Structure 1
Amino acid sequence: MSGIFISFEGIDQSGKSTQAKKLVDYLRERGHEVVFTYEPGSTELGQKIRSLVLGRTSAGKIDSTAEMFLFSADRAQHVNELIRPSLDAGKVVTSDRYVDSTLAYQGYGRGLNLNDLRMIQNVATGGLKPDITIWIDVDLQTIQKRELPLFSDRIESEDRGGEKPFFQRVRQGFKEAYQSEPDRIFRVDGTRSVDAVFKDIKKVVINRIKLRDLYKINLKDWVLSTIEKVERGTDWNCAWKKTYFELGGESQRSCIDWEELKAVGSLFEIQN
């Protein structure tokens, strides 16, 4: 897969959907082919599942295990019908919710066994994980103070602003996921303005995209061709390799010692 998979996570009304859409617009304006998607409901089957699990007019109470399997069925269809084909085509896929939501809501929130959930999600997704997960972290007191529209779905209506412990447990689930996978999950303080939050998100995503582009370089060919040039007498004191990912707005440049370069080249030759 040559695309990039980005997921957005957070408790209800944390602002993640707003930020996901802002990122999609930003990347499209800069020429990236972006697929915006969400869970549940991004496929025809998913829309039917969404009406079952989130509709406030659903008949009767949905059992927690049944709810989890419905979300997982939506995800399996979502991955195979939309996400994987888009990634295979080299597109950027941005999803509003993914596996971390199931672990947080059904695991920490509902109390289902986390090991069982991880196994089921692995089957549903075929092991596909996001390259980047943006966790918009907002405390429940801040959500209480926001002027928000009436809750629009069944889960959102269960607990407003921490009046019950459900969303406290869900937030803890996201926190523990972040602590266990800091290389994938990036915490963004969602209590600030929309623009301030987006500035942090933009930096994380741009850096990762540039790093992906760097990996497209055939490092083996670069090293061997550099050795050949130096051996032909090219007047280089050392070989320079530029890394093109952005850190604090500036690209970094590092000098590779000639002997170190030859050592790397010998490794490539041994592998042949």
Structure 2
Amino acid sequence: MTSAPPASIDATLDLLKRGDYVADRSLATVLYLALKLGRPLFCEGEAGVGKTEIAKVLAATLGRPLIRLQCYEGLDVASAVYEWNYSRQMIEIRLAEAQGVHDRGALAADIFDERFLIRRPLLDALSPHAGGAPVLLIDELDRTDEPFEAYLLEVLSDFQVTIPELGTIKAHETPIVIITSNRTREIHDALKRRCFYHWVDYPDLQRELEILKVKAPGAGERLSRQVVGFVQELRKLDLFKAPGVAESIDWSTALSELNVLDLDPRTINDTLGVLLKYQDDIQRLQGSEAAEILRKVNADIASHPLG
């Protein structure tokens, strides 16, 4: 069942919480305003901090269809917006010729009809949906080329696309738009001006503990504190890729599956491939450095017990 957008910042926090998303108030505030004013929300941040999950949670909690455009280098209009079903059009032409139809104008008007139109994510998001205006996730926009980014300006300004053979197609209802970027390159100011902006940062220790409590409930309190403390220390190092929240959840879940109740250096060495994704980072951490970080984390837990 479709739900109305939240009516306040607190209601937005509650909405995200119902979807098991532990958000801070700054995210809830900008998300509430984006929903209230019908503006796209542009989220930047490191990989694995929960940007994509925002759109998934909104779709689930509001009961809206989720339409995802996964961006990549070379993404074009045919893959992102629309293309014509050329094989069906050719069949239609052959049938018309067999029936003796020779009026080229009438034939062109017939084959460039919406029934031959293949709707890709952007056009689909502008189309009517039984579940209400969809949530459109434009994921990892920084992976695309600048010409495609420029094409998005019309979509995000007026929520419409222009198809030469059909004219301009405008959204019946404004979709909820979430755009994400891992900031591998800068996105043009013209596009950012059409959006509200939020930097999704790594959570602090307390919020990351809350996230693990929701996403990895099988881990005990001590193990969760060790995992979060260890990961937070890793983020201070100059690693090729620091672990995100997604890796914290994966590591905690994996340790629970191994029936680990208390981290030790050997277990860390054996499971670093769950937490880190580059061999240089793993080699750096294995052995004495991982043991030293764990010692520091355990000392911190001993001096700051949870009340």
What is the TM-score normalised by the length of structure 1?
A: 0.29
What is the TM-score normalised by the length of structure 2?
A: 0.27
